[in-house]
Amino acid sequence: MCIHLGNTEAFIWDKDMPNERRTDLDETNQLLEEIRKEIEKDERRLIYSHEWQDGDFLISDNLAVGHYASNDTARPKSEVGLRILHRTTTKGISSPRKGQTTI
């Protein structure tokens, strides 16, 4: 499951089934809060926050991690410096499976 924690409008249950339904705003927010709590439990052991330094280069797998920009990224450029993001999307030839190793 790939979820943008800061920009998810709804969830769809039983997609393309006769009983398909879309969550309303309250249910969506409740689910997102449950997901956030799960991520932050156990002293936030699943969370990595990068302390940026000049010259840093970071690669993340957007299908394998949840991510969002911290509030600091909305501060003025004069306070936090210029933030540049380059995005690349690649496509594999097979669907990933748990325990699968490919080169």
Q: pTM for this one?
A: 0.56
Cα gap 82→76, rounded to integer Å:
9
What's at 85, amino acid-wise?
A: L
pLDDT at 94 over 80: no
pLDDT above 90: percentage of residues in the chain: 24
Would the pLDDT of 45 be above 90?
Answer: no
- Tell me the C-alpha distance between 83 and 73, whole Å: 8
Pick from 70, 10, 9, 65: nearest CA to 39: 65
Look up residue 14 and give its two tokens. Answer: 């039983």
Give the domain ranges of the chain: 12-80
Neighbours of 91 (CB within 10 A): 4
